Structure 1
Amino acid sequence: MDAQLLSDDLADQIVTTARTATGDSLRSVTYFTRSDFEQLYLREDLERDADLDTFVGHEWRGFRDTSNAYQSSELGEYRFTVRAFTNGYLLRVTGDRRGVLITTDGLQMQSYEEVADAIEKMLAEDPTSE
């Protein structure tokens, strides 16, 4: 991760949006592209030893697989994924070239929808997109 993947302004905007929507439930925020990632936020009570390289790789492949599998679904276009784990939840908002992973403690589904909508909009409006 030699070069900065996104502007400081966009990084701050993503973290602020996630923090506003999730409050103290926010655990982490990671921005990623097809080839790199940058952890933008990690709550201070969490360990800094996560294998983000493998984690992001799985989520990128998961996005591709999900997008391909549901291309012609009557449910409509795929938007985001929420995964449940023993110690928290993961929200993946991904586009063709980049995305954001947000981990949280438990939230209402509406909170995930709100943050996903905001992140999708930010990524779409960012003029520095790949």
Structure 2
Amino acid sequence: MSGRILSDELSDEIVTTARTATGDSLRSVTYFTRSDFEQLYLREDLERDADLNEFVGHEWRGYKDTNNAYQESELGDYEFTIRAFENGYLLRVATDRAGVLLTTDGMTIQTYDDVAEALERLLAEESDDEE
């Protein structure tokens, strides 16, 4: 992982959006692209020993595989992924250029939907700004 891969402004917006939607349930926030990532937030009571390189690589491939697999689905367009683990949950929101991973304690599906929608807007705005 190299240094900063996104602006301080966008980093702050992503973390603020996640914190506002999830409150104290938020565990971590990681921004990623196909080739790099940056952990933007880690709750104070958590250890900083996660192997994010492999974790983010898996989630990027997972996004691409899922997006491709369900393109013709009657369910509609793919929006986000929630994964359940023994000690928490992961929300993945991504576009073709970048994504955000949140880890959380348990929340309602509506809360995940709300935060995913807000993060999708931020990622779309970032993509528009790059063009």
TM-score in terms of structure 1 length: 0.96
Q: What is the match of residue 74 of structure 1?
A: 74
What is the aligned-residue identity percentage? Answer: 73
CA-based RMSD of the aligned residues comes to: 1.2
Matched, 1:118 2:111: no
Task: Show the counterpart of 1:13.
Answer: 13
Aligned-partner Cα distance in 1 for 2:129–2:41: 21
Aligned to 2:97: 97
Closer/same/farther in 2, CA of residues 128 and 2 from structure 1, 3 Å limit: farther
Give the Cα separation in 2 of the matches to 1:125 and 1:81: 20
| Correspondence for 1:46 | 46
> How far off is 1:21 after superposition?
0.5
Instruction: Please report how far the alpha carbon of residue 5 of structure 1 lies from its aligned counterpart in structure 2 after TM superposition.
Output: 1.0
Tell me the equivalent position of 2:33: 33
Distance 2:46 2:94 in 1: 24
Deviation at 1:62, TM superposition (A): 0.4
Aligned length: 130
- Structure 2 residue aligned with 1:23: 23
1:2 to partner: Cα distance? 3.2
Unaligned runs of 5+ in 1: none
Distance 1:20 1:63 in 2: 25
TM-score (norm 2): 0.95
Q: CA deviation at 1:3?
A: 4.4
Query: Hey, what's the Cα distance between the residues in 2 that align with 1:61 and 1:37?
Result: 14
3-state SS in 2 of match to 1:117: helix
